[in-house]
Chains A and B, each alone.
Chain A
């Protein structure tokens, strides 16, 4: 009997430990960076929450780099010199929609957060979108890809800043067909983001007179892609389209190089790639790849100046377009706040976003642009080719520009999105 109780006790404490271990990250995330004293709702204090992946596959393209960029935006805006306090908090959503929306709720209800920024992973991005709208705060998504943020689920509280699946598909897909890549095979990550990217790209390929010969869908975070690459080769398609992201893309490209896929004339179209992925692959494996981004640190004097300012705080990483979007969106928000006053901006996120839409944007990363009524930020989009090792003059010198799409032609036309905010 005594032994039984001991065992039961043991098991219970084991269960408790396990449960605590499971909950701890989420709780810790909610509290991260928030000093206990910061409860008083000082009327002239703005609180910005950076919600992203701090520990998983998207850490490099969001993570601490986004926090550094938001801090840089606050500094560059000069708003603190005018007596406005701006605090930054951040948390890890672990790529889980439920964790993301829980943190967003806690931040807004308990910690007085006014703005949520970044939010990679389309599933989490959409979950947070709903919470922010319900609470009437402001939401600038930089690293999520789904066009639903400005389509079926568009919101007056949301700006989708940096990129989306439509613009990637149009730029990369369109360009590949133009240069003779008229038959495609897709290797697609088997979740909402991959499906959307494949669907959008197929549309552009077919519209340009190309054919889609087949596809294969792999589970998220696979390690071995050789089997899929072989199936793609057997289809005799001229282009293998990679509709995946992060380490999945890196492993696909690395193994395509290993199997000599491109040596026999097949082209690889990486539909979503960030400069940090190129860094991780190395130029040997990545050379010749074509990809689309809306920012590159070495584009012009302004992007270089921005990169020099923020680089020191990024721990050896360079800013990707996703980081640049965090910077630019917060900078523009703070301009709008300077215009309308802190009290009004805190009172209604929708009002603040409306003010942002009314003002033209201008920043070092994306140049001049504007925010459309459905929440889509408009700026030029670049098609890059990864340099050969001998062309690269030093660390992070990776891209050359192949094509520039103007803000007017790069994005999904307003009428096609089906956003309810758009008056027809």
Chain B
């Protein structure tokens, strides 16, 4: 009996670690979505495309300008974030007075266009991007498994970034303004805060988070135009399960669902792409506002 349990544990432990790595991506991406939805009430369907752009900008920096991974980790989110500013200023800002659906349709259309452009330029089978030298080399021996250093770094970076975002929004004055503006924009504006600019920058920050995740993903997954669209649907499910707009909820749910998915891959791999949606359906039935959402 004990042997049986130990054997299952030996099988399961590595999968838990791998689940955490995938969960890190879900957490980062759903965090950006939650920030944007929480503050702007826009369902940003272009999030996957912006994640993909983050990876591609890192690739371009390396191959066209010769800038490596570490600077790209900062530069790529800034560049893609600037692109987010452009989109928000010229298009999304015109839709705030209308129904959510318009924002969704607009960003969905944008995602299709961006992906199409990249596919035309770079093809669909993807580009190579190596992990940085410091994190390459042989995998680390954890006793029960070998884990590439880079994956370990992904979990650490994602956790740090999530924590920082949460701190900024919950604990700083800027965050307080943001939350106040969400409740009553006119009143906050009356106090002399430039709300439209704050909203623009919030969107840019959400987009930059997606791009940051994109750079993190570049050495692990194939850098290809559809890399975002295959993740984004899962990430939306994560956001719905966590509760739309809840920062802490989306981070915890992201990691948690990564774990569940990882374990499914051992015990019933065929269902690994659907298990998250089954959970989503159950959560929506039991708690329509999500696990951490306010009804």
Residues facing B in A213-242 (CB within 8 A) are 216-219, 221-224, 226-228, 230-231, 234
Complex CA gap A55/B230 in Å reads: 15
B245 to chain A, nearest CB (A): 23
How many contacts A-B (CB < 8 Å)? Answer: 108
Given contacts A57-B125, A282-B128, A285-B128, contact A224 B222 (CB under 8 A): no
Chain A nearest CB from B102 CB (Å) reads 10
Question: Does the CB pair B270–A260 fall under 8 Å?
Answer: no
Task: Tell me which residues across on chain A come within 8 A of B203, comparing CB atoms.
Answer: none
Neighbouring B residues of A259 by C-beta, 8 Å = 139, 146, 148
B105, B119, B128, B145: the one within 8 Å of A59 (CB): B119
Chain B, residues 241-276, CB within 8 Å of chain A (1/0): the string is 000000000000000000000100110011011100
Could you tell me which residues of chain B, from 193 to 248, have a CB within 8 Å of some CB in chain A? Answer: 219-222, 224, 226-227, 230-231
Expressed in whole angstroms, the Cα–Cα distance for A60 and B226 within the complex equals 13
Closest beta carbon of chain B to A288's beta carbon, Å:
16
Contact B123 A223 (CB under 8 A): no
Cβ-defined partner of B101 (8 Å) among A14, A55, A216, A224: A14
Contact B126 A250 (CB under 8 A): yes
Cβ A219 vs Cβ B272 within 8 A: yes
**B271-289 vs A: 1/0 string, CB under 8 Å?**
0111000000000000000
A260–B131 Cα distance when bound, in Å, is 14
Given contacts A60-B125, A280-B127, A282-B130, contact A228 B265 (CB under 8 A): yes
Contact indicator per residue, chain A 57-87, by CB within 8 Å of chain B (1) or not (0): 1111101000000000000000000000000
Q: How far is the CA of A59 from the CA of B121 in the complex (A)?
A: 12
- Across the interface, do B227 and A317 meet the contact criterion of CB distance under 8 Å? no
User: Which chain B residues lie closer than 8 Å to A282 at the CB level?
Assistant: 128, 130
Contacts of B291 in A (CB 8 A): none
By size class, the interface of chain B is 35 or more
A405 near B: Cβ within 8 Å? no
Are B269 and A217 in contact, CB atoms less than 8 angstroms apart? yes
Question: Judging by beta carbons under 8 Å apart, are B14 and A230 in contact?
Answer: yes
B36 within 8 A of A: no
**Given known A230-B145, A251-B221, A258-B150, contact A284–B105 (CB-CB < 8 A):** no
Closest to A286 in B: B128
Contact A228–B269 (Cβ < 8 Å)? yes
A59-B124 contact, Cβ under 8 Å, with A17-B105, A227-B262:
yes
Between A59, A60, A247, the greatest number of chain B beta carbons within 10 A of the residue's beta carbon is seen for A247
A105 CB-CB contact with B under 8 Å: no
Chain A residues within 8 Å of B128, by CB: 280-282, 284-285
CB distance from B268 to the nearest CB of A (A): 10
Question: How far is the CB of B205 from the nearest CB of chain A, in Å?
Answer: 25
| A260: B residues at CB distance < 8 A | 138-139, 146, 148
Residues of chain B within 8 A (CB-CB) of A216 are: 269
A107 to B224, CA, bound (A): 32
**Is A263 an interface residue, CB under 8 A from the partner?**
yes
Which residues does chain B contribute within 8 Å of A219, judged by CB atoms?
Answer: 270, 272-274
Q: Given the complex of chains A and B, what is the CA–CA distance between A258 and B146 in angstroms?
A: 10
Contact pattern, B 125-169, Cβ under 8 Å of A = 1, otherwise 0: 111101100000011000001101011000000000000000000
Determine whether A277 belongs to the interface, using a CB cutoff of 8 Å to chain B: yes
- In the assembled complex, B15 has its CB within 8 A of some CB on chain A: yes
**Residue numbers in A under 8 Å from B116 (CB-CB):** 55
B residues less than 8 Å from A287 (CB atoms): none
Inter-chain contact A246/B125, CB cutoff 8 Å: yes
Which residue of chain A has the shortest Cβ distance to B149 in the bound complex? Answer: A258
Least Cβ–Cβ distance between A67 and chain B, in angstroms: 14
A217 B270 Cβ-Cβ under 8 A: yes
Contact B139 A56 (CB under 8 A): no
Q: Is the beta-carbon distance between B220 and A258 smaller than 8 angstroms?
A: yes
The answer to whether the Cβ of A102 comes within 8 Å of any Cβ in the partner chain is no
Q: How far apart are B10's CB and chain A's nearest CB, in angstroms?
A: 8
Instruction: Specify which chain B residues have a CB less than 8 angstroms from the CB of A56 in the assembled complex.
Output: 124, 226
Tell me if A98 is interfacial: C-beta within 8 Å of chain B. no
Q: Is A206 an interface residue (CB 8 A)?
A: no
Residues of chain B within 8 A of A263, CB atoms compared: 138
The residue in chain B whose Cβ has the minimal distance to the Cβ of A251 is: B222
Instruction: Indicate whether A247 sits within 8 Å of B222 (C-beta atoms), given known contacts A224-B18, A230-B18, A260-B138.
Output: yes
> What B residues does A55 contact at CB under 8 A?
116, 119, 124
- Decide: A227 and B123 in contact? CB cutoff 8 A: no
Alpha-carbon distance A259/B131, docked complex (angstroms):
12
Q: Known contacts A230-B18, A263-B138, A284-B128: does B269 contact A254 (CB below 8 Å)?
A: no
| A255 proximal to B (CB < 8 A) | yes
Q: Which residues of A contact B61 (CB under 8 A)?
A: none
B22 on the A face (CB < 8 A) = yes
Interface centre among B128, B130, B227 (most CB of A within 10 A): B128
Which residues in B have their C-beta under 8 angstroms from that of A148? none
B21 to chain A: which residues have CB within 8 Å?
224, 226
Chain A min CB distance to B37 (Å): 20
Evaluate whether A57 and B18 lie within 8 angstroms (CB atoms) in the complex, with A227-B266, A255-B220 already known.
Answer: no
The CB with the most chain A CB atoms within 10 A, among B18, B131, B270, B272, is that of B272
A14 to B102, CA, bound (A): 10
Given contacts A216-B269, A280-B128, contact A254 B222 (CB under 8 A): yes
Q: Is B11 an interface residue (CB 8 A)?
A: yes
Residues of B near A247 (CB, < 8 A) are 124-126, 222, 224, 226
Any chain B CB within 8 A of the CB of A348? Answer: no
Q: Does any Cβ of B come within 8 Å of A385's Cβ?
A: no
Which chain B residues border A231 with CB–CB below 8 Å? 11, 265-266
Closest residue to B19 on the A side, CB-wise? A227
Q: Which 4 A-B pairs have the closest CB atoms?
A: A282-B128, A219-B273, A227-B265, A60-B125
- 5 A-B residue contacts at CB 8 Å? A60-B125, A217-B269, A219-B272, A250-B125, A317-B123
Residues of chain B whose beta carbon lies under 8 Å from any beta carbon of chain A = 11, 14-15, 18, 21-22, 101, 105, 116, 119, 123-128, 130-131, 138-139, 145-146, 148, 150-151, 219-222, 224, 226-227, 230-231, 262, 265-266, 269-270, 272-274
Q: Kindly list 9 other residue pairs between chains A and B, CB separation below 8 angstroms, not including A221-B230, A226-B18, A285-B128.
A: A222-B272, A224-B21, A226-B151, A246-B125, A250-B125, A258-B151, A263-B138, A276-B123, A284-B130
